[in-house]
Amino acid sequence: MKYSVLAGLSLVGAALAKSSIPSIEVKGKKFFYSNNGTEFSIRGVAYQANYDGTAQSGSSDSYVDPLVDAATCERDIPYLLSLRTNVVRTYAINPNQSHDDCMNALADAGIYVISDLSSPDESIVSSDPSWNAELFTRYSQVVDTLAPYPNVIGFFAGNEVADAVNNTASMAYVKAAVRDLKTYIKDKNYRSSLAVGYATDDNQYVREAISNYLVCDNAEDSIDFFGYNIYEFCGDSSYASSGYKDRTEEFADYPVPAFFSEYGCVEGTKPRPFDDVPILYSDKMNDVWSGGIVYMYFEVGNHYGLVSTSGSSVSKKQDFDNLSSQMQKVTVTGVNSADYKVTTTVGRSCPTTGPDWMANSKLPPSPNSDLCECMYQSLECIPVDGLSEKKIKEVYDYLYGLKAKGTIDAVSGVYSNGTEGVYGAYSMCNAKQRVAWAMDRYAKKNGGASACGFQGKGTSKAATSASGSCSTQMSSIGAAGSNTINAGLAASSGAADGGSNGGGSGSSATSSGIAAGMNQPQAVHVGAWQLGAYTLAAIGTGVFMIML
Ligand SMILES: *[C@@H]1O[C@H](CO)[C@@H](O)[C@H](O)[C@H]1NC(C)=O
Ligand SMILES: *[C@@H]1O[C@H](CO)[C@@H](O)[C@H](O)[C@H]1NC(C)=O
Ligand SMILES: *[C@@H]1O[C@H](CO)[C@@H](O)[C@H](O)[C@H]1NC(C)=O
Ligand SMILES: *[C@@H]1O[C@H](CO)[C@@H](O)[C@H](O)[C@H]1NC(C)=O
Ligand SMILES: CC(=O)N[C@H]1CO[C@H](CO)[C@@H](O)[C@@H]1O
């Protein structure tokens, strides 16, 4: 069945209109409308088609930003409204493009946005985590792009980054990203209600520790909301047998808003009956959960779609009608902000590191691209021009191997270990800057220029001394690079990134770790959005174990 655009929903001139939609703010473990204190419960739909499979990994166009094309938003908004949608989740935004038309059209329809900050090529990689100046640049640009719109609730600083005990060290880097994006929003004087959260994978061995870790110690470093990608209620299940009851009990006293950042299991009865919808919004759950986001709007071959689209036409699947009929039944009875007493506070104790948890409560340093550039300029031994990421990694691995053997430690300033909580002051620099620091350190310890060969991979250059605050910062850090300081945040400027003067250290590749690009499947892991079909097996196993 086809819809036409709702009468009265005029998109003409939307870009100029200043929407009067009230922002949403967090108080305690709930969301509220800022204008009148009415509690806000998310009735969300994930809204991003799969990236074009023909795009090459590493290119910047491996995804289609769903909030750029006015015609697409105009086509889809009536469908979203007929599902009573008040939130869409987007997974990858292109900061280079204008979002005015779609954001204003969504605002006019009363629809809010929560967006991930990463992209398929730029994210914190669970197997080789890093929180560095390149990622900070990307994430801060997404914040800059969306912050002006009143109908943005906030951002996910990570999606399903840790999904097994052995990669939970990555959560230290995610939490550093949360800390730094919250600081960035304050520094830029953006609306204080803009929230930064995380969306977790439903792995039974790590989910509880992750949820505690993200709200432990300092409130300034903690998430503002918790998203749970949950596929536990499949087919004709029930509150008790699905796992929803247990999860609800676990989150009863969680200090910040928690909601389902993805739900809608496709196992079992097809089309999906969405019998969990009335339960999620009932008194059983709605005091603990601020609603949920159904995965997902577009059908892209993984059977999670609610509609199929082609050009200007949309055809609803039976899942859509089922969800719609369930959503019509929903009435959430919330509390008014003025009557709501906050009884839980953040600042829990962090899980201790050991066999079940690998993220230290000490977090990595804040990325500062200016400091990295000064450091790079001060070096006398650097990689030769155009050295590939693979070769950069080889050199780093060689130098790291020397440290591991106890022969010579030339990596202390760039070494990073989220389990030990040990981070060199320059560990937040990009891969090329990090390897250069280590090569220079090695050469200085072994006779200078003559030790800068690295089998043709190293070259000598004249040092340019740092000046101003860089100089002060570099002397506090020291030659060994091991005194971490708070140098503040600085994104890469285009100039330094392009390395146009030939001496710049920007690497043109979008590396997100020294090994980025080495391991494609991991490097592009962004959770169920892209890998829905592939993660299904894992999800199924999880469900099975929970139901036992
Ligand atoms: C509060 O404002 C929101 C947004 O305009 C509106 O949807 C809601 O109905 C209002 N609440 C009450 C109690 O009027
Ligand atoms: C945005 O534009 C810059 C400069 O042209 C480019 O380097 C970058 O890759 C673009 N980003 C995206 C996400 O397309
Ligand atoms: C982590 O554990 C998974 C199984 O849960 C295994 O497949 C993977 O190889 C392990 N990774 C590392 C780095 O040990
Ligand atoms: C981090 O430190 C732990 C404990 O010393 C060690 O087992 C692990 O291999 C280190 N990880 C990396 C990536 O170096
Ligand atoms: C809740 C709901 O509307 N369920 C319907 C989903 O679709 C199937 C197949 O058409 C119907 O039988 C269900 O009643």
What are the mean pLDDT values of the chain's consecutive 10-residue runs (548 residues total)?
33 50 98 98 94 46 89 98 98 96 98 96 94 96 98 97 97 98 97 98 95 95 97 94 97 97 93 97 97 96 92 96 97 94 88 97 96 96 96 96 95 97 96 97 93 96 91 95 89 51 43 27 32 34 30
CA–CA dist 431, 505 (Å, integer): 9
Q: From the CA atom positions of the chain, what is the Rg in Å? A: 24
* Cβ–Cβ < 8 Å for 150, 19: yes
Alpha-carbon distances, residue 83 vs 26, 90, 145, 321 (angstroms): 25, 17, 27, 9
One-letter amino acid at 508 equals S
One-letter amino acid at 335 equals V
The whole-number pLDDT of residue 544 equals: 29
The whole-number pLDDT of residue 482 equals: 87
Strands of the sheet containing 39-40, edge to edge, are 24-27, 30-33, 39-40
CA–CA dist 170, 173 (Å, integer): 5
CA–CA dist 305, 319 (Å, integer): 8
Q: For ligand 2, atom 14, name the residue with the nearest CA.
A: 60
Q: Is 500 touching ligand 3 by the criterion CB < 6 Å?
A: no
Q: What is the pTM for the complete model shown?
A: 0.88
* Cβ–Cβ < 8 Å for 176, 136: no
- Which residues belong to the active site? 160, 262
Q: For ligand 4, atom 14, name the residue with the nearest CA.
A: 417
Spacing, Cα 38 to ligand 1 middle (Å): 6
Beta bridge partners of 200: 228
Task: Dig out the tokens for 110 from the structure.
Answer: 């009363």
CA–CA dist 289, 115 (Å, integer): 19
Q: Which residues line ligand 1 (CB under 6 A)?
A: 22, 33, 35-36, 38
The whole-number pLDDT of residue 6 equals: 35
CA–CA dist 11, 73 (Å, integer): 10
The whole-number pLDDT of residue 346 equals: 83
The whole-number pLDDT of residue 521 equals: 24
CA–CA dist 388, 140 (Å, integer): 27
CA–CA dist 323, 59 (Å, integer): 36
* Cβ–Cβ < 8 Å for 481, 376: no
Shortest-distance atom of ligand 5 to CA 272: 6
Q: Is 164 touching ligand 3 by the criterion CB < 6 Å?
A: yes
Spacing, Cα 34 to ligand 1 middle (Å): 10
What is the pairing mode between strands 289-294 and 307-310?
unpaired
Shortest-distance atom of ligand 5 to CA 275: 1
| Closest ligand relative to 34 C-alpha | 1
Q: Which domains, ranges and CATH numbers included, belong to the chain?
A: 6-339 (3.20.20.80), 369-516 (1.20.58.1040)
* Cβ–Cβ < 8 Å for 267, 533: no
What is the pairing mode between strands 24-27 and 30-33?
antiparallel
Pocket residue to mutate for ligand 5, from 318, 320, 324, 330, most atoms within 8 A of Cβ? 318
The whole-number pLDDT of residue 499 equals: 34
The whole-number pLDDT of residue 310 equals: 93
Give the end-to-end CA distance of the chain in Å, rounded to a whole number: 41
Q: Length of the chain in residues, anyone?
A: 548
Pocket residue to mutate for ligand 2, from 96, 116, 134, 512, most atoms within 8 A of Cβ? 96
